[in-house]
Amino acid sequence: MTLPQPPMSLLAELTHRCPLACPYCSNPLDLERKAAELDTAGWRRVLEQAAEMGVLQVHFSGGEPMARPDLVELVTLARKLNLYTNLITSGVLLDANKLEALDKAGLDHIQLSFQDVTEEGAERIGGLKGAQERKLKAARLIQASGIPMTLNFVVHRENVARIPQMFELARELKAGRVEIAHTQYYGWGLKNRDVLLPSREQLEESTRAVEAERAKGGLAIDYVTPDYHADRPKPCMGGWGQRFVNISPSGRVLPCHAAEIIPNMTFPNVRDESLAEIWNNSRLFNMFRGTEWMPEACRSCDRREIDWGGCRCQALALTGDAANMDPVCGRSPFHHIVEEAVEHTEAKNFVYRRF
């Protein structure tokens, strides 16, 4: 049997604990408690096994990864193993001492998330008073440290008109890159979809704002559009079990951050088996890998090795079966579900995510 290529990136979800309460949180509906988290030795083993397999990058994420006191130790080890290290953080727990320690550990890159450019908008989404000020302070510390920084803005109906100001802030903070990512509706985000989903006009306006900024040059821009206005699915995670591996706080090994919604599945765990064994041979990773599992319309589609059938978690959340065609695809018999959702947006209060 030919073994799959090793994953390129590992997402280490060190904890689900987070001071923010974003209504579009992409973590699973059932968050893992602190007592269930892998200890430092467990995470060290994960990093060593990942490097041995040929993984190139590790993204320390959460929840808020800075809530883990062993973050610096783990970054130090990852660098020693020649892994490229990226910290995905909200910045609200970052201070000068912690940043200096991370810098000394060799951290390669920081992705700092902002919920908005205005204090009011940021607090309405994140649910944490004073968060915007703390984030701006964190951004200035990172800028002064010289660690390369990407600013990440999740956009939705309430803040999409402020994309030009998001670019202004990124230039002011001297971020090398900015990511404008329309909300994806998995996990908790699906609960708030009807409040967050932008209209087609808003999407077009946001795309024009991104194109205008790209034309100015000098700022690298990643732009993630919302699935629901597309008629071809995205290659979620670069294909199931092909490029990314996700480790949950308790050590579950997953093809994506949302896969725990798959029913009747025993999720493999690094406490029981090696990462390589799970990646190569587990039922979970082989379930939707490649093209063999695809329904007929996908298998005969000339985009089958471009979008790899789209998003399995979205197919499950919207149609009840992860093996169905992604309803985003215009050829899917379930496409009417996303078309109806686009029509059914409504102004109501968020359901916040609290740990």
Q: Does 298 show up as a binding residue in the annotation?
A: no
Which residue from 297, 250, 253 is spatially nearest to 274, judged by alpha carbons? 253
Structure tokens at 182: 């329309």
Q: Is residue 244 at the binding interface for ligand FES, with CB under 6 A as the rule?
A: no
Q: Are 315 and 322 spatial neighbours (Cβ–Cβ below 8 Å)? A: yes
Binder among 312, 318, 324, 353 for ligand FES (CB under 6 A) = 312
- Does residue 338 belong to the site contacting ligand FES (CB under 6 A)? no
Using the rule CB under 6 A, give the single segment among 28-36, 118-126, 127-135, 252-260 that binds ligand FES.
Answer: 252-260
Q: Which residue has the tokens 């199931």?
A: 240
Minimum distance from residue 40 beta carbon to ligand FES (Å): 28
Q: Which is nearer to ligand FES, 152 or 202 (CB)?
A: 152
Q: Which of helix, strand or coil describes residue 230?
A: coil
Binding of ligand FES by 258 (CB under 6 A) = yes
- Residue of 122, 313, 318, 338 that binds ligand FES (CB under 6 A): 313
**Alpha helices per DSSP H over the chain:** 40-53, 71-80, 96-105, 119-126, 131-145, 163-172, 187-191, 193-196, 200-216, 275-281, 283-287, 296-299, 304-307, 312-319, 335-343
CB 218 within 8 A of CB 175: no
Q: Is 255 helix (H, G, I), strand (E, B) or coil?
A: coil
- Does the footprint of ligand FES cover residue 38 (CB under 6 A)? no
CA neighbours closer than 13 Å in the CB half-sphere of residue 255? 26
State the burial class of residue 270 (Cβ atoms within 10 Å of its Cβ: 0-12, 13-18, 19+): buried
# residues contacting ligand FES (CB under 6 A): 10
Is residue 253 part of the contact set for ligand FES (CB under 6 A)? no
Binding to ligand FES by CB under 6 A, coded x per residue (else -) over 183-222, reads ---x------------------------------------
* φ, ψ (nearest 5 deg) of residue 216: -70, -30
22 annotated among ligand-binding-site residues: yes
Q: Minimum CB separation from ligand FES for residue 289, in Å?
A: 12
Which is nearer to ligand FES, 63 or 127 (by Cβ)? 63
Q: What's the DSSP call for residue 260? A: G
Strand partners, 269: 252
Q: Is 329 annotated as a binding residue?
A: no
Closer by beta carbon to ligand FES, 75 or else 316: 316
Select from 256, 270, 298, 338 the one that contacts ligand FES (CB under 6 A): 256
User: Shortest approach of ligand FES to residue 234 CB, angstroms?
Assistant: 8
CB of 334 to ligand FES, least distance (A): 15
DSSP characters over 47-100: HHHHHHHT--EEEEESS-GGG-TTHHHHHHHHHHTT-EEEEEE-STT--HHHHH
Q: Report if residue 284 touches ligand FES, rule: CB under 6 A.
A: no
Side-chain-facing half-sphere of 76: CA atoms under 13 Å: 10
Q: Smallest distance from the beta carbon of 19 to ligand FES, in angstroms?
A: 24
Q: Nearer to ligand FES by C-beta: 12 or 173?
A: 12
Q: CB of residue 256 vs ligand FES: minimum separation in angstroms?
A: 3
Interface positions with ligand FES (CB under 6 A): 186, 236-237, 256, 258-259, 311-314
- Which residues define the annotated binding site for [4Fe-4S] cluster? 18, 22, 25
